[in-house]
Amino acid sequence: MISVLIKDKVDQFLIEELKKRKMIVRDHSNTPDTLLKEVKENEILIVRSATKVTKEVIDAAAQTGVLNLIIRAGVGMDNIELDYAQSKGIMVENTPEASSSAVAELALAHMLALARKVVFANLAMREEKWNKKQCQGIELSGKTLGIIGMGRIGQNLAHKASALGMKIIYSDIMGFKNINSTWEFVSVEEVLRKSDFVSLHIPSNQDGKFLIGESEFKKMKKSGFLINTARGNLVDENALIEALNKGEIAGAGIDVYCHEPCDNIKLVQHERISVTPHIGAATEEAQSRIGQQILQLIEEYRNKKESRGVADGRN
């Protein structure tokens, strides 16, 4: 019988479906300190972004060889030592398609909030201030959206922004993508220089360096906005605050942080930053899709395992 260890919160549908399929489900999301012991006893490990699957965790799992599959319930796998796990014979999978629309919508929500000064207006209203004159904003239609990383989420955002009348330019490490004749492929520097909104949709840098720091902010339009719903360590948070205070850019929408929960008070309380607590994939629909994809991955794993068992039995 397959045992599945779930370390971070997942859709209840997944748990119920796994149990229906006669699998042992161990949900220890509130006991992170026991991970080194748990990976020795369970065949499948499911994590989101909170649980870090380090070399130490993988070495612990290798001691018994029980753990065969790690599934990241989400897009990236920055919190998993991917190559090291695979070198130990442990498969690693994720669910890249499931949350694309949800993350793209959140990026767009931050853009709209910044363009129409929703955060400023909301806080003023709560303080019984009718600051109508100070709330004049801009429209997204006719503005240029620069996307760094034209993968699933980047393309999803581009489609949504195009529908609002925005011009799309993009940069991608893989080069030009023949996906839409109206979207222009440019360099990262051109994205920074030409865009009214710059949205990041790439993994963390392998070398740990910031993608956007002091020099990059100086290249952006003074009226430009930075949107980061990708990875917290892509942006130098202190450089962002300095750029805002110096008027080098107009604002930012941030969902991910260098340290989570975010402890940078100057960042989260800045009047020209729209902040959310890493909720890119936090929609009912996205979590349901993630659950469905995880279930499919586990079923594929079980089918392969049973096929190998039958083949071994014939030998």
Residues with active-site annotation: 231, 260, 278
Sign of CA dihedral 58, 59, 61, 67: positive
Q: How many residues does the structure list for the chain?
A: 315
- 119, 123, 125, 153, 263 from 130: Cα distances, Å: 14, 10, 6, 37, 31
Angle between helices 12-20 and 284-314 (to 10 degrees): 20
Task: Give the largest Cα separation in the chain, rounded.
Answer: 81
Which among 105, 109, 111 is positioned nearest to 138, based on CA atoms? 111
Which among 170, 136, 164, 169 is positioned nearest to 150, based on CA atoms? 170
As a whole number of angstroms, the distance between CA 77 and CA 72 comes to 7
